[in-house]
Structure 1
Amino acid sequence: MTTLAPPGRVRAYVRLAKLDILDYYLGVLVVWSLLPADLRLDGLVLATMAIFLIGEVVVMAAMVALDDLTGFRDGSDITNYAPDDPRRRLERKPLVAGTLTERQVVRFAWITCVVGAALWLAAVAIAPHRPQWTVLVIAVTYFFSVQYSWGVKLSYHGFQEFFLAGLGFAVVLAPYGLATGALDGNVVVQALLFGMGPLLFGVYSNTNDVEGDRRVGRPTVAALTTPRGNMRFVIALSALETALVLAAPLLGAPWWFGLALLPTILMRVNQLRVGFADGDILRARRLGIRTHRVTVVALIVVNLL
């Protein structure tokens, strides 16, 4: 007789999958708002985007589960989520908290890897369009997600920051390509802006986790440079985001795009102040999450208007 997993274990799997971090999944809303008006309620387009989104959630669950497994085995998560650090929630790391075993996490990761691949293949199969560049973006995104902290361990070879932005870029471009088969400058710049969001709270996480990452040889920019060098890197990324906002009208966005995204620019300045002037890195990270969500709302409003 099949028995259901106890509620505590279900919660542990939800935390393992980081289902409370919605920020990459918001890309589908940006894509929907970018679609021509006649496609926004098209049944096949909506089905394709829904299957792609569910697949994205499952692939991301596999990625973060493998990341937790590697972080537990090399000791970096034990360092960064130490029980005596009141600012980090230990239950977010079920292996460190002891609510899941390594065997359970490995099984979960493999199941989600297979299911995620099947869902993305199904999205491609039913999509109105299947341009080669879109299929390539999906394949590369899947490979890099699974290999982020496992197998090739891309994040252990200096590609972590690039991946954080690239993943956000891909989850806008791919479903848009499946829905329309086309691409233009406005879509590209909005995909880039979307990708900057997770990057600009990820680098604050890396700043906080610098000691654990150095201990295991994980070469984030924060671990490779001095505190001043890392601060300059984060400032440069924030400036790049502002430059993208200002350049967007040259690539097809409306002339008032910069005004609509002004809250993003101001919130980034505040995030820098909190993180590096006040020295509260984890609060700055939370501000980064809120900034990304404000940016998503602004992009949707711009596109619908």
Structure 2
Amino acid sequence: MTSELSTGTATEPPQEAGVRTGRRPGARLPAYLRPARPGMVGHYLSLAVVWSLLPASQRLDGASLATLLAFLLGEVCLVAAAVAFDDVTGYRGGSDAANHGPDAPARALARKPLPAGTLTEAAAVRFAWCALVAGCLCWTAALVWVPHRPWWAVLVLVAAAAVVVPQYSWGLRLGYRGFQEVFLAVVGWAFVLPLFGLLTGEATGPAAVEAFLFGLGPVLVGVYSDTHDAEGDRAVGRPVAACLLSLNGNRRFIGALSVLETTAIVTAPLLGFCPWWFPLAFVPLKATRVLQFTVGMVRGDVLRGRLIGIRAHRILVVTLVAVNLAMTGLA
């Protein structure tokens, strides 16, 4: 659900023989872990943002910490399910082999266990369904002991777990209907605002602004991945912005996303959601965004631009946490 969501059309697997004969004994556990993307922690950092948004008296409350832990485990499982389903779809269509194969050495084929032959298609599908069920159970447990259950927060979580995650590249295959960038932003938003609502019973202005900013982080990683993978995605009919727009149009679109991020930061104090100094805290983030765009779009090193985007998202989270602690007090 970050830039890891690279899909393909559902055709016959081009490298089935490699899957049947290429798996190494004892490699099953690492192969199962790869679809979970344990190194991609961008979405999971939402817990730090939500925790810092809580009133100081609630941050060490047992019920709140238990809810955060259950929600985190659910996030990990649901993201793993979405990525595993996506890997199967990308493998069937051949886009993963094209985008991560020998002709693309910067992106190791081993990151994709199906074309690499370290995991069978059936095993990946089983893993995806098991991860989905586990994620739903974790979020159900969180709903049992949360102090509040506003209808909108519960509705968003149920929709995310039961409809959006399994249907992104499986079933309805929402990732093929367009607006993938909006989808990534909404997922990031859903990992912040509903949880905050469950813990506090409300959706405040600062929480809404920070959820919006957090959601833009994965988008500003994914658009660089999509730019790199545009040829393969275009061949399988995946309607991401990089495939639908011209090269210059895609650059302008990515630049506009960064401008949108800046607009949200500057507007928050004007709306009374945050203190006047709120935009000043994000100067390092915006400097990193300028570097990301320069390297990725101007110089054309899109994969390095993607890496800078991952770092920028972490800078965003650190900034949000620091700002929240300053606004609400450390204790």
Tell me which residue corresponds to 1:262: 283
Which residue identity does 2:133 align to in structure 1? V
Correspondence for 1:296 among 296, 302, 317: 317
Tell me which residue corresponds to 2:4: none
Cα drift, residue 6 of structure 1: 6.7
Change (3 A) 1:195 1:7: farther
Cα drift, residue 251 of structure 1: 4.0
In 2, Cα distance between equivalents of 1:67 and 1:236:
27
Where does 1:203-242 land on structure 2 (aligned, <5 Å)? Answer: 203-242=223-262
Change (3 A) 1:192 1:251: farther
SS for the counterpart of 1:48 is helix
Aligned pairs, number? 301
Which residue identity does 1:216 align to in structure 2? V
Cα drift, residue 104 of structure 1: 0.5
Tell me which residue corresponds to 1:32: 51
Correspondence for 2:39 among 17, 20, 33: 20
Structure 1 residues not aligned, in runs of 5+:
none
Structure 1: which 4+ aligned runs deviate by more than 6 Å? none
Greater mean alpha carbon deviation, residues 250-259 or residues 160-169: 250-259
In 2, Cα distance between equivalents of 1:39 and 1:30:
14
In 2, Cα distance between equivalents of 1:111 and 1:14:
13
Cα drift, residue 277 of structure 1: 1.2
Change (3 A) 1:7 1:304: farther
In 1, Cα distance between equivalents of 2:188 and 2:49:
11
- Name the TM-score, length of structure 1 as normaliser: 0.97
Correspondence for 1:160 among 180, 189, 198: 180
- Name the TM-score, length of structure 2 as normaliser: 0.89
Q: Deviations over 1:107-138 (max 9, x none)?
A: 10111111111111111111111110100110
Which residue identity does 1:16 align to in structure 2? P
Structure 2 residues not aligned, in runs of 5+:
1-23, 327-331
SS for the counterpart of 2:43 is coil
In 2, Cα distance between equivalents of 1:55 and 1:293:
21
> What is the aligned-residue RMSD (CA, Å)?
1.2
Matched, 1:87 2:87: no
Q: Deviations over 1:141-191 (max 9, x none)?
A: 222111111111111110311111111111001211111111111110000
1:274 and 1:283 in contact (8 A); partners too: yes
Correspondence for 1:9 among 28, 42, 59: 28
SS for the counterpart of 1:26 is helix
In 2, Cα distance between equivalents of 1:251 and 1:61:
38
